[in-house]
Chains A and B, each alone.
Chain A
Amino acid sequence: MREDIIRTKIRTFIIEDLIRDEEYALENDEGIITGGLMDSFALAELGVYIEEEFDVYIPDADLTVDQMDTLDQIVIRVMRGMKED
């Protein structure tokens, strides 16, 4: 799957399901959790979504605010998981 498709899917998921504002202009490097858009619950939610949508299992140790706070970080981590599979 191409990076731009992955990015669009995750972006749509974040603004529609997590932030609940489809018009929100989310930047690629914007802190989703540190910026107060979402609380830490989002990490677990992202884990479920990424497994269902991309068949990538992100272990708990990687599902942290440090590693999954921006769209850029999440896309890179998903792509790494796809390559490893």
Chain B
Amino acid sequence: MQHPQTATLLDALALQDSDTPVLTFLHADETAQPLTRAQFRAAVQRCAAALQQQGIGPRDLVIIADTQSVVSIVAFWGAVWLGAIPSMFPTLTEKLDPQIYMRNMAELVERSQVRAVLADENFVLLFRQHTDARVIALSTLVDNGAWDDKPKYDLPPYAAKPEDIAFLQHSSGTTGLQKGIALSHAAALNQLRHYSAAIDLRDQDVIVSWLPLYHDMGLVAGFLLPFVQGIHLVLMSPFAWVAHPAMLLRAIHRYGGTLCWLPNFAYNHCARRIRERDLEGLSLAGVRAFINCSEPVRHESHALFVEKFTPLGVTWNQMAVCYAMAENTFAVTQTRIGQPPATEHVSRRAMESDLCAVSVADDDPNGVTIVSCGVPITNVEVQAWDAGGLPLPERYIGEIAIHSDSLLSGYYRRPDLTPLNEAGWYATGDRGYIANGNVFIIGRSKDLIINAGKNIYPQDIEAIANTISGIHPGRAVVFGVPDDREGTELLALVAEVSATDEAERKKIVQAVRQAVVSQAEVTLTYVALVESGWLIKTSSGKIARGENRRKWQQTLKK
């Protein structure tokens, strides 16, 4: 396809003024809300004018905290239109504790000097009680019942410069530690141009997505890419999809979907949890690629997916892999579309002891299968570094580092943090190696857990556990447990308690599960209560996650 030469995201949006569909939003009941480019552009201008009337202007940080909706998408572009800096945020859900959500939001508002929070009208009062930012109901900015082709306001777009910050993506973690990843117009457009080439994006492509827009894969692949490149996007809510995974396949069939990005767990979720009756009459043969991204890729998950959906026309040639991170806007690597990703069977022992990926026979029981993440997209250089930050030869395992023209400008309002080294490289914290130009990711340097595509810091969950009555403060450890059935890491908690009474112990277990769901919106799959002194400490007195995980697996895992 043609890749228009544009300097800012707004130039790209301005190209899209026609009756061609830009977005079809699927509600939970699968009723469709279609929108043309002209309607969208008019709504964006109207929203920008309304934001301006509320005192929002260039370089103001605007947090959009809403469920996946057409309104929030319009508001994002409305903010960009004014030169403000939008950032998508998870909304308050019924699972989350409102007090804690609001406390975190208030911290973010203060630390990042948020100018306005845009939210559903039901939450406006709550936000106003807890934050100092201006709180604006999304319904006052976008009238979701009236879609005109012609703009009512002749508000010219802000004349942004390519190096201006276009938007923020927020890293995960407790809000106090969350960093706003600042991305410029130039970085975003460089990413979109080079990534479009990597996936051989075509005008007739249709992207189908349930991915949340506060996540880099959802924001870039499932939102900015189609909007900037003029590709039809069919979007649904992650909440609706998780409970009803067949929705995604029905949408692909109904709208002729050709590209679909999914985290690894979603392959297992679809393969295991879609009922036969829901598959009748569906075809997925027109899909060019299901692109696996944002958590470690498992060959077994692809195999499960292909086996289950072969009757619908799914083949290995549709399986693809991308390695991405918000700090690079999104993609770092991509496998070739139309070919199955390469795999390697390498010696587990050599990886652990020699830090080197040595191929072994396919049937070698000491081998482990690793799926290639593909080759770097054309604007990105990738190296594996040793502990001293020097590049390693091929096949040697080290920290993956990247250099590109789509990297972050910095962490927003955090001049104390310098994410790039002097030569402009970003050390990712992921461990892996390079072989024949392909990048293979095998793990992480940090303790980060990726559960169902969501990054979770164990210390955040441990902090929640430490507040539970009955758990000895500072005596709880959380770690990830890779799970073949789910195709992701599950969370396990081991905590020291004194209680011996069964009813009392059950209360503690219930309390900690409930607290973790309501504060972090993740589920603890395994909770083990142990007696004082069970947990292993390091020589410096810290609780050692890796060693405790091994002890738990050997002695307690059911």
- Residues of A that sit less than 8 Å from B by CB: 20-22, 25, 34-41, 43-45, 47-48, 51, 57, 60-61, 63-65
Contacts and interface: CB of A to CB of B under 8 A. Distances in A.
B446 interface: no
Given A34-B95, A36-B516, A20 B558 contact: yes
A44 B517 contact: no
Contacts, number: 71
Interface stretch (B269-277, B339-347, B435-443): B269-277
Interface in B52-96: 94-95
A41 B247 CA distance: 14
B245 A44 contact: yes
A45 B242 contact: no
Interface string B506-523: 100010011111100011
Interface of B: 29, 94-95, 239, 242-247, 269, 272-277, 452, 486, 502, 506, 510, 513-518, 522-526, 558
Given A36-B523, A39-B523, A22 B558 contact: yes
Nearest to A58: B275
A61 B243 contact: no
Given A44-B273, A60-B246, A63-B243, 6 more contacts: A20-B558, A34-B95, A40-B239, A41-B242, A41-B486, A44-B243
Listed from nearest, the 7 A-B pairs whose CB atoms lie closest are A36-B513, A36-B517, A44-B273, A39-B523, A60-B244, A43-B243, A36-B514
B90 to A, nearest CB: 14
A20 B493 CA distance: 14
A9 B355 CA distance: 48
20 contacts: A20-B525, A21-B558, A34-B95, A36-B514, A36-B517, A36-B523, A36-B524, A37-B513, A39-B242, A39-B522, A40-B239, A40-B242, A41-B242, A48-B273, A48-B275, A51-B276, A51-B277, A60-B246, A63-B244, A64-B243
Contact of B272 (A34, A45, A57): A45
Secondary structure of the A side of the interface? loop
A22 B526 CA distance: 12
Contact of A36 (B245, B452, B486, B518): B518
Nearest to A30: B510
Contacts of B245: 44
Given A48-B272, A57-B277, A35 B244 contact: no
A60 B27 CA distance: 13
Which of A25, A34, A35, A37 counts the most chain B CB atoms within 10 A?
Answer: A37
Contacts of B506: 25
A65 B246 CA distance: 17
A47 B95 contact: no
B244 A44 contact: yes
A57 B246 CA distance: 14
Which of A36, A51, A65 counts the most chain B CB atoms within 10 A?
Answer: A36
Contact of A20 (B242, B269, B526): B526
Contacts of A37: 513, 523
A47 B516 contact: no
B243 A35 contact: no
B520 to A, nearest CB: 10
Given A41-B242, A44-B269, A60-B243, A51 B29 contact: no
Contacts of A25: 502, 506
A35 B513 contact: yes
Given A20-B558, A36-B524, A47 B510 contact: no
Contacts of B517: 35-36, 39
Nearest to A47: B275
A44 B558 contact: no
Contacts of B486: 41
A47 B269 CA distance: 13
Which of A48, A60, A64 counts the most chain B CB atoms within 10 A?
Answer: A60
A71 to B, nearest CB: 15
A74 B532 CA distance: 39
A35 B515 CA distance: 9
B244 A38 contact: no
A40 B275 contact: no
A36 B508 CA distance: 13
A58 to B, nearest CB: 9
A43 B239 CA distance: 11
A41 B269 contact: yes
Contacts of B273: 41, 44-45, 47-48
A72 to B, nearest CB: 17
Nearest to B278: A60
A20 B525 CA distance: 8
A22 B516 CA distance: 22
A20 to B, nearest CB: 6
B495 to A, nearest CB: 15
Contacts of A41: 242, 269, 273, 452, 486
